[in-house]
Structure 1
Amino acid sequence: MQKLKLLCLRHVRLDGCYAKLPTRLRWLCWLEFPLDSIPVDFSLEKLVVLEMQYSNLRQLCKRANFLPSLKILDVSHSYGLTEIIDFSLCPKLEELILVDCTSLIDVHESIGNLERLVYLNMTDCKNLRMLPKNMCMLKSLETLILSGCSNLGEFPVEMMKEMESLGVLATDGIPLRPERSSTILSSFPCSLVELSLKGCNLSDDVFPTDLSNLSYLRSLHLDGNPICNLPVFIQGLRRLDHLSFEDCNRLESLVGLPKVHQTTIIAGCISLRKIKYLPPERRSGMYMVHDNYNLVEWEHKYKIEPIDRVDVEIIKLLGLCNLESMPAVRMRHPFTDRVLKKVPVQVRLSFSLS
């Protein structure tokens, strides 16, 4: 089978000489690869795609295996992998996927020489301690995903400044030290279109008031952070398609919201009481809600307030002249339909957008 170009195996162990395997392979998908490294007699010079998810690899190669044509390397969920290849051996690499390689501690410094690398995903590499400083040389990198790298010591601020092509950055679950948070946020490259900072322990006071360098940002995720109010810099983001505050359970108000063209997520914001828009904006796009049972004011939609604060003439028209004697009532929240505890009689004021 000397002309074979695609080989897909799963949980297969081969006996014998690997030199006898097809030498013109372009795509090798070997899930649950059983060895701790790729045999040196396995010819991979024509290989373009190498997939070895859920492998027993501890190191990719014991000795230098030149991979001159390799463009995609995926060894995700290789839990024993402790070191990755010297990247000078695969100079054409474009995508590197190391998801859930939980034993990986560092990345070979030669990664900075990968001039064609556009995608780097190291999600849940929980023991990753540091990234090479020369990663700033990755001028073609478009997507960098570090979510779940919870032991990453020093966040690579200077590295990000130099990544002029970076469009997607995800650092979910990496706690940012308060004293450095504002510096880090101000260092994001202006090329970003998607930024995910879920669960990074960001509070109101760490956000700079001005992040005008993020003028191209279309997707922003701040889920699970202890913020109480809308960060001021968001008011300057005019191209947003997606904005998410899911499970920000300390969030109390979103005052000054800019226009979000597609989706705003406020599900799980159990303390949220008020939503107001940045003039002249009105409610736009779709809102994903859940457990927002304290939301009593939503501009252009409704407002709930105690009846004794309502205009006296309206109260008379309703025939409600003796408010003091009216007992507390149970009511359903007008938006979440949740049954609330007993409260004094409330009035729901609805608004029309017409």
Structure 2
Amino acid sequence: MNKTLTLNADVLLKMKRLRVLRVIYHSNCHDLVYLSNELQLLDWTGFSLKNLPSNFQPENLVALLLSHSNIEQPWKENKSMHKLKVLNLEGSENLIKAPDFTTTPNLDTLVLKDCTRLTHVHPSIGVLKRLKLLNLKDCKSLRSLPTKIGMESLEELILSGNPKRKDKFHCSDAAFVVKLDLGGNNLISLPSCLTQLPQLGWLRLIDCKALKSVSELPTNKLYVNIDGCTSLEIVAYPSKAFISRYSANICNSKIWAGMVAVNCFRLAENVDALTLLKKELKVP
């Protein structure tokens, strides 16, 4: 049963040494003026305020999880947040721009998935040298990314469902990226810099309707999903790869390479593609 609870702000006012606060249900908290400065985990689904209380000093905060909230700006001014490692604002539809990351240099997980009004990411994201996961899936209003993203440690980058982005994808510094999701975008061809990603093992291009060609990719140990790429005509893929339906065996293999190509109608019409398929599947 869905139920909205009213949280008594006076109760929190008395909890000066509270370290963990998790609110699972959507709750009214319009009179909230205080949060303990000792908080290490703040997990509040459906947080109803536009900002955190101005007197909150989040210097001990390790994880800030405000999914499906009304937050417009997590913090208005520079506050010391050097311990913060995880920031999740998934589904916060009032978020228009990402916060300044200058005071969160140790952030390793940033999730802004389904922030549908988000138009820009603050350029200070470049200071996040320890960032391992960046999830911007279905940020449908996102227009551009900063030229410099803290990619030195980045392992998973999700940029699917960003149809308004006009800028080119820069990946020259993303040497350690293992998983890359560019699905649902208006790509015509893949960025040439993908060949500079030697660790890339998983590439998702689902529903890139305008994609016409997939250039040669950097490794044989790579799983690629091109489902629904209806304009795709050319695939230049390492010869040891094969086209198949996804299976657990591919994922669990230590040395694996595979491609899922369902509803790629123009690719199916390509004689060379059919020849490659027959060769790999040993069809006479």
TM-score when scaled to structure 2? 0.80
**Pair 214,71 (structure 1): closer, same or farther in 2 beyond 3 Å:** same
Q: How does 1:186-225 map to 2 (within 5 A)?
A: 187=195, 189-200=197-208, 201-203=210-212, 206-208=213-215, 210-211=216-217, 213-217=218-222, 219-225=223-229
How many residue pairs end up in the alignment?
A: 252
* Counterpart AA for 2:158: I
Which of 173, 189, 192 aligns to 2:184? It is 173
Question: Shift in Å at residue 97 of structure 1?
Answer: 0.1
**How many angstroms apart in 2 are the aligned matches of 1:53 and 1:245?**
33
2:36 touches 2:56 (CA, 8 Å); kept in 1?
no
- Post-superposition CA distance 1:71-128 (Å, at most 9, x none): 0000011111012211111111000000010111110111011111000000000111
**How many angstroms apart in 1 are the aligned matches of 2:232 and 2:89?**
40
**How many angstroms apart in 2 are the aligned matches of 1:161 and 1:16?**
45
SS state of the match for residue 73, structure 1? strand
* Counterpart AA for 1:144: L
**How many angstroms apart in 1 are the aligned matches of 2:191 and 2:179?**
19
SS state of the match for residue 110, structure 2? strand
Q: How does 1:168-317 map to 2 (within 5 A)?
A: 168-177=179-188, 181=189, 183-184=191-192, 187=195, 189-200=197-208, 201-203=210-212, 206-208=213-215, 210-211=216-217, 213-217=218-222, 219-226=223-230, 231-237=235-241, 239-250=255-266, 251-252=268-269, 254-255=273-274, 257=276, 275-278=277-280, 282=282, 299=283
**Pair 228,77 (structure 1): closer, same or farther in 2 beyond 3 Å:** closer
Which of 88, 101, 104 aligns to 2:102? It is 88
Unaligned stretches of 5+ in structure 2?
Answer: 1-14, 243-254
- Post-superposition CA distance 1:218-271 (Å, at most 9, x none): x210111135767232424484354211222332465455xxxxxxxxxxxxxx
Question: Shift in Å at residue 134 of structure 1?
Answer: 1.1
Question: Shift in Å at residue 65 of structure 1?
Answer: 2.8
Question: In structure 2, what is the equivalent of residue 98 of structure 1?
Answer: 112
Unaligned stretches of 5+ in structure 1?
Answer: 258-274, 283-298, 301-354
Identity over aligned pairs, percent: 32
Aligned residues: CA RMSD: 2.3
Greater shift in the superposed pair: 99-108 or 246-255: 246-255
TM-score when scaled to structure 1? 0.65
Question: Shift in Å at residue 2 of structure 1?
Answer: 4.1
**How many angstroms apart in 1 are the aligned matches of 2:274 and 2:194?**
23
Which of 7, 15, 19 aligns to 1:5? It is 19
- RCO higher in structure (CA 8 A, sep ≥6): 2
Question: Shift in Å at residue 161 of structure 1?
Answer: 2.0
**How many angstroms apart in 1 are the aligned matches of 2:230 and 2:180?**
21
Which of 151, 160, 175 aligns to 2:164? It is 151
Which of 156, 168, 174 aligns to 1:163? It is 174
SS state of the match for residue 105, structure 1? coil
SS state of the match for residue 237, structure 2? helix
1:229 touches 1:255 (CA, 8 Å); kept in 2?
no
2:171 touches 2:194 (CA, 8 Å); kept in 1?
no
Question: In structure 2, what is the equivalent of residue 120 of structure 1?
Answer: 134
